Every structure is written in structure tokens, then in C-alpha cells.
Structure 1
């Protein structure tokens, strides 16, 4: 007998029931937002960065979305079943869905996306699809994934960017999916269609009047304004030019002031799936970073509570391992904590034989700051000063986003500030960062530190295939104990990502995807 996980067509709407009873949505209007920085592209089959996802998620769709509790809800799939052994996933697709160019959406598009396109364009999809023995389509509205072994996190692949469904008919005859000009043709199934992209100014999306969910979207247009500097973005919100700002649009120290204005609200919701964690990458290939005592010295030299309070303006929570508060299978009892203790840091360096020279320098390192605004620059400067204070001379190597990505993903750094999205389940968000086989030139969502521990590899692989939740918890507890003790990465804080918006904007954040949801339910109370 099958374990059935069927979701009614109305479940997504039920999330909004309370609001709907209180006040019926109004149709019409334009929602003005900021996209920062300007994305290189918005084809979600190819473009992976945050700005691309923010815009593209209104155009392209996957099979499912997720509630704030990370329970799957229907999108292009209207129901699904999972076999008792956890190896066969059968999806019933929504009938009558059309691509923006009028062509019908069918199971052929799903097969093309997961068998051909996405494994080529998105490394994370390729990694997860290695779990799949076969994908077949018995008919136009059914797709069956059969796994090689159980993989409880498999449903989440349909919600990560690598789960975007692409239009097969546009790619007939294409052999190189990465470079084809077809990628510039923006055709999805979502509630909004491509309108106009005026480079350096705005991206306009327009209502899809033929959207599969009748009566939606409520809005006529979405405008994503491109404002190069943080001060300008603050002014754009204050002046009323834009209706909402996301985390990162303005510096953290501006958020409380902007949120205090009349008719403005702040929410920390909408990051339940991504769950970003900030950390300091340490290139273990480079001496003396391969020595645990040196990494411990760095950990003791940096005050992470100061970072949260004074640099990120309280928008953060302490974290002492790979599993932050609220993350699946977290076991805080096994974590090793490294409190701020410069004297202990110096003692560890002395123990290693790294004595200070005449100028106080014991060793020199390069620090790659994350080029995402003043807050991250301040973090790099603070880190430089704290490390210099214990004799670790630190030079900041400034670069732009492409340069940072190139250096980090190729291992051309000693220290690098970064953050990672944990994506709902450790089999995805944790495995990618610590598996010894997932290292350089696989993007920055990889083990770029060069950490190699065969025990950790074995735990990750066993845990990602374990269907018994209690047994998975035990395996992940062992993993957390090892990682926290060995400190392959210095975790600085769990990032709290506020959204500030005008109260006239309704249903802005309703799912675990937050501002990366499709905005079909958003409306304006004029």
C-alpha cells in the first residue's frame, strides 16, 4: 500500500484564508520593488544568483512550493505520491497550464528539465539527480521519478532554483544549453511575464492574463528598480518610489529607522527554506590553516556577539556549528563553543611555534570580503583588526562580485567571508559544504575550504539515505559533533533577513520562500 501525500488544489489558498475572510483582494495596480544588484539574467534555468531568483521566480515555476513549516504545496504539480520504500515519486501535473507563448505545458517539459537541461546548467541539480535511476512520463500529465536508494530530502529539489521547469519546445535542436541564445527568450508558466528590461533603470513584469490559477495574479505590473547605491535605495523607499525593500537592499543600520515610519511594517518571515548562515571560509590547503589549533585561534580572536550586535545591527543569532537554531536535526548539546578569548588565541599560536616578530606579526593571511555592501566591508575590517591584535597580519583583498566568485570557487584565498543557504534539509544544504568530493570549481555553494574527513563523508551519505527520522537525527548529531570540534569553517551568525514594506501591500510573504515566491497572491489596498 502506498504512502499517499496528496495535496488538494485549494491548500495553497488555505494559507491565506484568514486574510481572505477579513478583506477580499483588490485587483490592479503596480508593485514597486528594488533588485540589487542588477541581475546578469533572469532565466532561472541558467541564472542562479539571488537577484536573478528574486525576479525570475515570478516568471518561472517548479512543481511545488513550501509552507513556512516547509511542507510541500502544489504549483505545476497538483498532487503526488511516494512509495512505501521512499524510492518512487509520482507527480500528477496540473492540466490546462500554458507557457507564456501559448504552448501547452506537459510532462515532456519536466523530463527535459531534469534529464537534459538542469543537470548541465546547475551543479546542485546534477548532484541530486545522481540519486535518480530513471524518470519516465506515462502520459502528458504524469511524471515518475525512481530513485536508486531512499533520499528523504528529494522533494526539496523541486523548490530550489535547480527545480525550475523549462520549456522544451524552445530548445529543440539546441546542443549547448549554457551558451545558446535561446536562454535570452524569457518564457515561463508563472503569474507574470517579461515586459521590459531597461538596463540600469528597471525590469518590468506584466500580468499573465492566461495564468492557470483563475483570478490571479491580482497585480497588473511588477517593477524592479535598479538603484546602484545604498543611500539611493533608502531614499527610494522613504520617498515612496518603492513599496518594499529586502534584506541587503539597504544597510542593516538603516532598517530600524525605515521600519519606524508611519504605514510601514517589518517582518523577519520568509526565510524558512533558505535559512542563511554567515561564516568565514578558511582555506585548509594553505598553511597554517590546516592546523586545527590555528583555526581555533582565529575563532577565539573574533567576538561573534559583537558582530551580531554592532555590525549586523542585531539581525542575527549566535551559531556554533553547521546546523543553526531552528534547522532540521540540530543538536546544540554536541557543539564545541569557541568564546571570544584573545589570550587563548595567542596561547594556541605560541603552542604552534608561531612566535611574533619584531612588528608583532606571527603569520600573514589574505582576507576576501564579501562584496555585498558596507556591512560586509565593516565585517572584513573588524576581522582584520581582531586578527592583527593576536599577531595574524591580515590584508583585505577587495574585489567585485565576479572577482570574488572566481577567487572563492577556485581556492585563490586564505580567508573569505561568505554565507550559504541551507535549503530545508541537511542532505542538500550541509552536504554540499562539507563533502570532500564537492570542492573547487563547483561554485561557492561547495566545500571550497578543502575539508577532507572520510568519517564525515560516510555520515553525510548514510544520513541522506536514512528514512527513519530518529536514526537520521543520530547520524546528524554525530556529524555536528565532529564538524563543530574540527572547525572547517568559522560560523559567525545565523542571518536574520528583514523585509520592510508598506502596510498597503497585502500577502507579500505567505510561504517559506518569502520574497522569492511567485507573488500571485499579492495585492494592494489602495
Structure 2
């Protein structure tokens, strides 16, 4: 019987020589020899509810991967790189994945990393990760073939799976810390123990997270930095002030758009747009379909007809965004289609739809009231909420904008379900099965799990299209299925997809190798160094 590593079709097995070349490539691109030491401060904007993306996403994806790792990393062109896995193979039928794991790796508490950690993590992520139930839906068995070899068995092919193994999407957790616990409530999510290049030291709520160099990191000589400080400055004006004063050296998309051209012209900074191909973020308006008025499609259509997406692009984002036709970011070009139903700005039509639905204006001119909840209380999301509220008022829907911190928003929307229309960012990621299915699949209605099917949208046809596409190996057929999916959900309108903001990072030019992989700022930071002033 042949070894799993003799399997050829779609095998991504790296030879010793290839591994050596792959590990050398980053250094070939360096303008100078890496310098050891130093500290950088990174502003990620909103403060997450937990530091690991095992149970939530949001800004945790820029923090957790520096502490815990994934099986793989990916070059800027999505070519896989070894991380905790050194070799991998996929069977001819696409149903068996086999990974050889890195030996001699230690968890930050000194325990050995082995195959049991990987087996535990994959099965746990399938249950607790906001996207895990979809991404890992076809996984039927995960078993250790030895102390450093793991086999994953699928019921049906999952053509996207090999791209879903980065730390931000599929973090490998320490079994000895999480086994037998309620993972979402485990305090280790807030004080993580990982195998990565940086060790968690403290989280001062409302201020910062401190990470320090792992002296026993498996990639000897790395990381180059002694320390990374993660800051939570969500106000764009305060964020740019912190950047220009040197209080922070990296700002991940949190600066006023009115300052972009000035920052681009400032020789102290680098303006970086690479490294966003793993995330592909959008902004959307999420309806609560448990709300009586919003259960009527005519009401949702009326609201859609008063929102001018191009106005949001031009006025809120000053042109630094693209209007969306549906749930797929145009950057995910393979799957994007503009061939969907549209809801052009039409106040008269919106009024007629509300009348038809039985919500006529009262004596005071109002029909009913709605809450509008932006996830972030300042910046573009607040501006969008204000614009939407203004438009709702024109058609007799009386809006109230509510704001709070990130944790309050997540609890209100995904646990308490005390919302009507939420303005929130969402990651498409690199494939609709991974990034989008979770938001529309009826089997992913999971109260308490952030960024799942928060609308409580149920559609047998949408489920069929998503489930069929998830296991379809023919690329052309998958594209057609996802085109049909987009048409279906835009017609049903559980969400109004608004815009895809342009993604960028502004950072101090002394920082080298900040973006070398497709996940950009969500990489582990092991290669980052500071050049002399």
C-alpha cells in the first residue's frame, strides 16, 4: 500500500530543495539584512471581544496569527508556504488530505506541539468558528497517523479547503488548554498560548495588547522585533494624529479619507495596498428578519430603494470604494457577477411599496420606527448610518441611531438580536464558501456566534446552491452556481450590500517586510524588522 505522500493529483508536496528555496525567497526581496530588536505599535482600530479568531473575527485576525499559527501560509499570489505543516498531499478524488507536521515545536508554555493538537483544532473549529461550520462542512474524520502526521477525510470534495489553512482562518489551538472546556468561554482566548513568533504578555482593555518576542521560536533567528504593541484607536482623526506623532507606526485602514493624499505625499510613510487578497472586505446593511415589519419583502425593497450606494462611495469614501451589486466583492473577480436585480434610488416607489405593505403614514407622517446600529461609532460606518437614517426619515420610517463599542454591537446583534438594521463590515475572504456561505446558510443560524447568519435568513434554494457549490470541483460549474446564488439573495434581500471599501495600510517607512503574504497584516510578523533611522 502506497504512502499518502505518493498521491499525485493536486499534490502540493514540497521537496527539501523546494522548501529551502521557499524559505529563502523572502530574504531575496529584502533591501537590507534584517536588523534584530526594536518595537512597533500597530493600530487595528476596533477592540475585539477575544484575541483569537477561533470563535470570532473582526480585528482579532490581525492579532491572533502573531501568537498562534496555521498549517500553511501563502505568498502574495496564493502559493502555499509551510508553517506548522511542512508537507501536504491531496488524494486523486479530493477526499483525503494528509499533512506532515513540523517537529520540535513548543507551545509558549513549554508543552510539545504534535498531531493531537491539529486533530483537536480542526474538529473544534468546525463547531465554534463563525465560518467553521461551512468551511469544514465536508470534514468527516481527522486522525493522527503518527505524532507528526495528520489525515483529514472528507465526505465530498472541498476545492477551497487548501486555501483556508492560514492562522487567521484556521488557527491551531493547544489541545491541553482547550480540551474539555467551553471554548468560547475559555479565558485562554483572551490570554492565548500559541506556537507563534510572539508571546502574549498583557491586554489592557481600551488601550493595548502587548506581545513579546518568542526566544524559542522554531524558525531560529526570528522574529526580528522584540515587541509588538497592538493599539485600538477607532476614531480616524485620533488615528492619524497617533501616526503622524509617532505614537503608532502602522495604521490598518483607520485614518480619515480626507488625509489620504497628504499621507501618500509624506516621505515618512509607505502607503500599502497589497496583502488584502485573503480578506476582501465589504460593508453591508443587515436586516433582522425576526422584526415583523422587516419580514415583509416590500418593506426591505422600500428601504433598498432609498439608499444610493454611489452617493456613499462619492461622499462617505471620497471615491475610495466600489458600489456593490450583491454579496460578492468585485475583487473576488472569479465569482463576482453584476447580473442581479437592482434597487435604484426611487423615493416614490419606496413610498408606494410601504403603502402596499399596509404601513401607511400616520397623522404625524410616520409609519413605524427602526433602530440603525453601526458597528463602529465613528468614521465611515457612522456616516453611513446617518445617511441611511436621513433617507428612512424621508419615507416616514423614524430612525434612531445607536452606537457603542464593538463588544456591545456583537452582543446586541448576534446574541440578544436586539436590532433592526445593522451597518457592519464583513470579510468575503478568498472563496464564497469560506467567506459568504456562513452569512446566508440556514444551518449557520447560531445565536451567540458573531458574523454568522445574523439575519435569520432561511431559503431552501439558497441552501441548495451553497451546498452544491461547496463540493463542486468543476470551476465553471461553481462560478455558475455562485452567480445563481447572488441573484437569489439579492432578490430575497435579507441584506443590503453597500460598498467594498478600498483596503490600505499606512506605515512608517523604517518598517521592512510588513506585507509579504496574501494575508498582509494578519501574517505572523516573524519577518518584520526596523531599519536604522
Does TM, normalized by the shorter one, top 0.5?
A: yes
Deviation, 1:259, is 3.7
Aligned counterpart, 1:379? 384
Aligned counterpart, 1:459? 465
Matches within 5 A, 1:168-179: 168-170=175-177, 174-179=180-185
Cα distance in 2 between the residues matched to 1:473 and 1:37: 34
**Could you list the per-position Cα deviations for residues 141-183 of structure 1 after superposition, in whole angstroms to 9, with x for gaps in the alignment?**
21100011111122244226452112234457x5444445555
Aligned counterpart, 1:485? 491
Flag the 1:16–1:402 CA change in 2: closer, same or farther, 3 A.
Answer: same
Task: Indicate if the aligned counterparts of 1:218 and 1:523 stay in contact, CA closer than 8 A.
Answer: yes
Flag the 1:100–1:17 CA change in 2: closer, same or farther, 3 A.
Answer: same
Aligned counterpart, 1:512? 518
Aligned counterpart, 2:294? 289
Aligned counterpart, 2:149? 142
Aligned counterpart, 2:19? 9
Provide the TM-score with structure 1 as the length reference.
0.91
1:136 aligned counterpart, secondary structure: strand
Flag the 1:445–1:177 CA change in 2: closer, same or farther, 3 A.
Answer: closer
Task: Indicate if the aligned counterparts of 2:48 and 2:59 stay in contact, CA closer than 8 A.
Answer: yes
Cα distance in 2 between the residues matched to 1:269 and 1:381: 31
Structure 1 residue 413 corresponds to structure 2 residue 413:
no
**Could you list the per-position Cα deviations for residues 190-225 of structure 1 after superposition, in whole angstroms to 9, with x for gaps in the alignment?**
112234545554433222232222332222221224
Aligned counterpart, 2:3? none
1:204 aligned counterpart, secondary structure: strand
Cα distance in 1 between the residues matched to 2:178 and 2:191: 10
Aligned counterpart, 1:214? 220
Cα distance in 2 between the residues matched to 1:330 and 1:145: 27
1:89 aligned counterpart, secondary structure: strand
Cα distance in 1 between the residues matched to 2:493 and 2:21: 42
Task: Indicate if the aligned counterparts of 1:44 and 1:60 stay in contact, CA closer than 8 A.
Answer: no
Aligned counterpart, 2:314? 309
Structure 1 residue 360 corresponds to structure 2 residue 365:
yes
Provide the TM-score with structure 2 as the length reference.
0.89
Matches within 5 A, 1:117-132: 117-119=124-126, 121-132=128-139
Cα distance in 1 between the residues matched to 2:354 and 2:182: 51
Task: Indicate if the aligned counterparts of 2:62 and 2:522 stay in contact, CA closer than 8 A.
Answer: yes
Cα distance in 2 between the residues matched to 1:461 and 1:434: 11
Cα distance in 1 between the residues matched to 2:203 and 2:48: 11
2:483 aligned counterpart, secondary structure: helix
Deviation, 1:461, is 0.6
2:84 aligned to which of 52, 55, 76 = 76
**Which segment drifts farther, 484-493 or 290-299?**
290-299
Structure 1 residue 88 corresponds to structure 2 residue 96:
yes
1:272 aligned counterpart, secondary structure: coil
Flag the 1:483–1:363 CA change in 2: closer, same or farther, 3 A.
Answer: same
**Which segment drifts farther, 72-81 or 406-415?**
406-415
1:428 aligned to which of 430, 434, 448 = 434
Flag the 1:440–1:113 CA change in 2: closer, same or farther, 3 A.
Answer: closer
**Could you list the per-position Cα deviations for residues 469-521 of structure 1 after superposition, in whole angstroms to 9, with x for gaps in the alignment?**
11111211211222223322111001222211111111111212111110111
1:158 aligned counterpart, secondary structure: coil
Cα distance in 2 between the residues matched to 1:105 and 1:505: 31
Task: Indicate if the aligned counterparts of 1:328 and 1:425 stay in contact, CA closer than 8 A.
Answer: no
Cα distance in 2 between the residues matched to 1:337 and 1:197: 45
Task: Indicate if the aligned counterparts of 2:288 and 2:419 stay in contact, CA closer than 8 A.
Answer: yes
> Is there any run of 5+ residues in structure 1 with no aligned partner, and where?
none
2:418 aligned counterpart, secondary structure: coil
Cα distance in 2 between the residues matched to 1:96 and 1:497: 37
Task: Indicate if the aligned counterparts of 2:52 and 2:63 stay in contact, CA closer than 8 A.
Answer: no
Deviation, 1:276, is 1.1
Task: Indicate if the aligned counterparts of 1:387 and 1:394 stay in contact, CA closer than 8 A.
Answer: yes
Cα distance in 2 between the residues matched to 1:49 and 1:431: 15
Cα distance in 1 between the residues matched to 2:134 and 2:144: 22
Structure 1 residue 60 corresponds to structure 2 residue 68:
yes
Aligned counterpart, 1:263? 268
Flag the 1:264–1:181 CA change in 2: closer, same or farther, 3 A.
Answer: closer
1:369 aligned to which of 370, 374, 380 = 374
Task: Indicate if the aligned counterparts of 2:411 and 2:448 stay in contact, CA closer than 8 A.
Answer: no
1:392 aligned to which of 389, 397, 401 = 397
Aligned counterpart, 1:151? 158
Cα distance in 2 between the residues matched to 1:351 and 1:324: 33
Cα distance in 2 between the residues matched to 1:459 and 1:228: 38
Flag the 1:49–1:373 CA change in 2: closer, same or farther, 3 A.
Answer: farther
Flag the 1:144–1:374 CA change in 2: closer, same or farther, 3 A.
Answer: same
**Which segment drifts farther, 294-303 or 48-57?**
48-57
Task: Indicate if the aligned counterparts of 2:282 and 2:501 stay in contact, CA closer than 8 A.
Answer: yes
Task: Indicate if the aligned counterparts of 1:247 and 1:499 stay in contact, CA closer than 8 A.
Answer: yes
1:193 aligned to which of 193, 199, 218 = 199
Deviation, 1:36, is 3.5
Flag the 1:427–1:212 CA change in 2: closer, same or farther, 3 A.
Answer: same
